[in-house]
């Protein structure tokens, strides 16, 4: 039984050794399982698969020699295995050379690529583009008919079909290809919220019964070294392309299907950062399919977020709130509106002028002297010179609560015809708020019910009243307070 098992192990090892050397099935699938399970890069996967083959062959030889086969089999086999593994690792797909990324020269930079020029074939790529394929070097081949090169699945091609040129691959089984493009931010500014757009295309359809739809998986990584970095990639799900045709299309040169995919990449690309985007075949099983990308557009419209806010904080000092913030870069920055929320919506409480355009660090501050209570939130509304604006994240402070009800000044005062009455509840409880004229006659009941603890606001509309002095009274379980206000029409 042991001899039988050892022969099976040895035979299996020889089979994998042969398939690895010739790069045919089953080693392709074997390596695919290793790579997908452990997320190794291509070279690591090749080395691990060869090590496993070596162990398998040595185990087989060890048990076979126990049954009185020639003793020199082991040293000779080990020498051959080292030789074959050296050849196989040397034969492995090389790591793509470091490419020259496309330079982002300004925050309004826009890049388009339709593959009609600068791509005589993928072996002559435009600046910033690269590819990784599974077998041999066929990327220099132009694919112009569905019957072309169908035995060369796993290769990238410049497609030159009836609808024009595009860049993609002929895919099948575990032969996964990748194409990619890299950009380097050399604008001197941080760039955020970058629009990405491309057209996904399907030409040849070799299988119509896939359990995994054929198409593109699209990922990005900041400061990737090359297209087959093993980790650190983030999928851009809005750019994913999947398609299943109802019937095979294995002849001709016309477009079978296309989709425009676009999204805004919500990242911040700092100055000198490199953004790498790659398209990876989804690796469906079955016969050869031809898929490609076309009409790629980076940062369409050149509309990045103009100001990079690197710090925003709030600190309480003697019941005053001090806001501090910092920008790393600014572009056409008119300034910052300061907004406050005490629980009843955001209100503008001030403005601080910006530095216009700057690529140096700038510090800003604002102090809120309103003597508030409870939880208070603040945010910045950054405004461009052209009126465009964006909000910062909110920061929150806890200012505590009084021991009894406390009235704060209504605003505005004098008013016409509306004003906001502000008061602080030390605890949750019953509240009645009424307004009286100067003769003591009740003119309005603004609230009668329960309120939570903290800052409270009520609107008083005096559109139907005459000018004069009015009083508002806030009655609670914790006391009664009255304040004066003036209506001027």
pLDDT of residue 97: 41
pLDDT at 460 over 50: yes
Lowest mean pLDDT among 193-197, 226-230, 303-307, 317-321: 303-307
The last residue of a domain, from among 91, 118, 139: 91
Based on the domain organization, do 196 and 237 belong to the same domain? Answer: yes
pLDDT band at 400 (very low <50, low <70, confident <90, very high): confident
Based on the domain organization, do 214 and 353 belong to the same domain? Answer: no
Question: pLDDT by residue (tens digit) across 255-286?
Answer: 999 999 999 998 888 888 999 999 988 765 66
326 falls within a domain: yes
CA–CA dist 168, 118 (Å, integer): 15
pLDDT at 137 over 80: no
Share the mean pLDDT of the chain. Answer: 78
pLDDT at 147 over 80: no
Based on the domain organization, do 192 and 271 belong to the same domain? Answer: yes
Query: At 474, which CATH number?
Result: 2.60.40.2550
303 falls within a domain: no
Based on the domain organization, do 149 and 62 belong to the same domain? Answer: no
Q: Which of 210, 153, 201 is nearest to 177 (CA)?
A: 153
pLDDT band at 23 (very low <50, low <70, confident <90, very high): very low
Question: Prior bond to 27 cis, omega within 30?
Answer: no
* Structure-block tokens of residue 292: 């490609």
Tally of domains within the chain: 4
Based on the domain organization, do 123 and 261 belong to the same domain? Answer: yes
pLDDT of residue 90: 41
Based on the domain organization, do 426 and 387 belong to the same domain? Answer: no
CA–CA dist 309, 380 (Å, integer): 10
96 falls within a domain: no
Location of structure tokens 């904080």: 313
Based on the domain organization, do 388 and 277 belong to the same domain? Answer: no
Based on the domain organization, do 368 and 384 belong to the same domain? Answer: yes
pLDDT of residue 27: 43
**Biggest alpha carbon–alpha carbon distance for the chain:** 122
pLDDT at 87 over 60: no
155 falls within a domain: yes
Question: pLDDT by residue (tens digit) across 98-114?
Answer: 578 999 988 778 999 99
pLDDT band at 366 (very low <50, low <70, confident <90, very high): very high
Based on the domain organization, do 161 and 279 belong to the same domain? Answer: yes
pLDDT at 417 over 50: yes
The last residue of a domain, from among 398, 422, 438: 398
Q: For the whole model, what pTM was predicted?
A: 0.50
The crossing angle, in degrees rounded to 10, of helices 2-22 and 42-65 is 150
Q: Which of 307-316, 393-402, 470-479 has the highest mean pLDDT?
A: 470-479
Based on the domain organization, do 158 and 239 belong to the same domain? Answer: yes
Based on the domain organization, do 176 and 206 belong to the same domain? Answer: yes
Query: At 328, which CATH number?
Result: 2.60.40.10
More confident residue, 129 or 442: 442
Q: How far, CA to CA in Å, does 393 sit from each of 44, 221, 260, 314?
A: 43, 25, 33, 12
Share of the chain above pLDDT 90, in %: 35
145 falls within a domain: yes
C-alpha 380, offset from chain centre: 24
Based on the domain organization, do 212 and 107 belong to the same domain? Answer: yes
pLDDT of residue 106: 81
381 falls within a domain: yes
The last residue of a domain, from among 53, 70, 91: 91
52 falls within a domain: yes
325 falls within a domain: yes
CA–CA dist 382, 124 (Å, integer): 45
Average pLDDT rounded to a whole number, residues 458-474: 94
pLDDT at 368 over 80: yes
**Domain span including residue 368:** 308-398
Alpha-helical regions (H) of 93-252: none
Query: At 237, which CATH number?
Result: 2.60.120.260
Average pLDDT rounded to a whole number, residues 361-374: 89
């Amino acid at each position: 039984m042991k001899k039988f098992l050892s022969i099976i192990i040895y035979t299996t090892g020889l089979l994998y050794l042969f398939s690895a050397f010739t790069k045919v099935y089953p080693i392709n699938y074997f390596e695919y399982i290793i790579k997908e399970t452990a997320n190794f890069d291509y070279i690591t996967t090749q080395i691990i698969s060869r090590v496993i083959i070596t162990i398998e062959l040595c185990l087989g030889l060890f048990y076979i020699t126990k049954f009185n086969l020639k003793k020199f089999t082991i040293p000779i086999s080990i020498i051959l295995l080292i030789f074959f593994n050296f050849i196989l690792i040397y034969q492995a797909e090389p790591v793509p050379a470091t490419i020259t990324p496309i330079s982002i020269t300004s925050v309004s930079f826009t890049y388009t690529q339709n593959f009609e020029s600068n791509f005589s074939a993928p072996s002559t790529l435009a600046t910033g583009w690269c590819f990784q394929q599974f077998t041999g070097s066929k990327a220099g081949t132009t694919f112009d008919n569905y019957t072309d090169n169908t035995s060369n699945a796993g290769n990238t091609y410049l497609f030159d079909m009836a609808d024009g040129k595009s860049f993609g691959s002929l895919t099948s089984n575990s032969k996964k290809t990748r194409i990619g493009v890299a950009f380097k931010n050399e604008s001197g500014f941080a760039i955020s919220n970058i629009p990405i757009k491309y057209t996904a295309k399907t030409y040849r359809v070799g299988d119509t019964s896939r359990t995994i739809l054929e198409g593109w998986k699209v990922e990005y990584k900041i400061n990737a070294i090359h297209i087959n970095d093993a980790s650190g990639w983030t999928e851009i799900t809005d750019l994913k392309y999947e398609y299943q045709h109802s019937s095979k299309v294995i002849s001709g040169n016309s477009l079978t299907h296309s989709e425009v995919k676009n999204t805004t990449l919500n990242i911040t690309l700092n100055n000198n950062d490199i953004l790498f985007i790659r398209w990876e075949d989804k690796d469906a099983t079955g016969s050869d399919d031809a898929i490609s990308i076309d009409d790629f557009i980076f940062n369409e419209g050149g509309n990045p977020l103009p100001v990079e806010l690197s710090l925003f904080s709030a600190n309480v000092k003697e019941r005053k709130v001090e806001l501090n913030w910092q920008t790393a870069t600014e572009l056409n920055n008119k300034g910052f509106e300061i907004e406050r929320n005490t629980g009843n919506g955001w209100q503008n409480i001030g403005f601080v002028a910006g530095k216009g355009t700057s690529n140096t660090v700038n510090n800003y501050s604002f102090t809120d002297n309103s003597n508030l209570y409870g939880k208070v939130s603040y945010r910045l509304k950054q405004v461009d010179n052209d009126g465009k604006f964006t909000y910062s994240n909110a920061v929150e402070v806890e200012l505590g609560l009084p021991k009894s009800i406390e009235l704060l000044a209504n605003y505005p005062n004098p008013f016409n015809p509306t004003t906001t009455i502000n008061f602080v509840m030390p605890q949750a409880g019953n509240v009645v708020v009424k307004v009286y004229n100067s003769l003591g006659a009740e003119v309005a009941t603004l609230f009668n019910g329960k309120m939570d603890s903290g800052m409270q606001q009520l609107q008083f509309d005096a559109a139907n009243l005459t000018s004069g002095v009015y009083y508002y009274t806030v009655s609670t379980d914790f006391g009664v307070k009255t304040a004066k206000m003036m209506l001027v029409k």
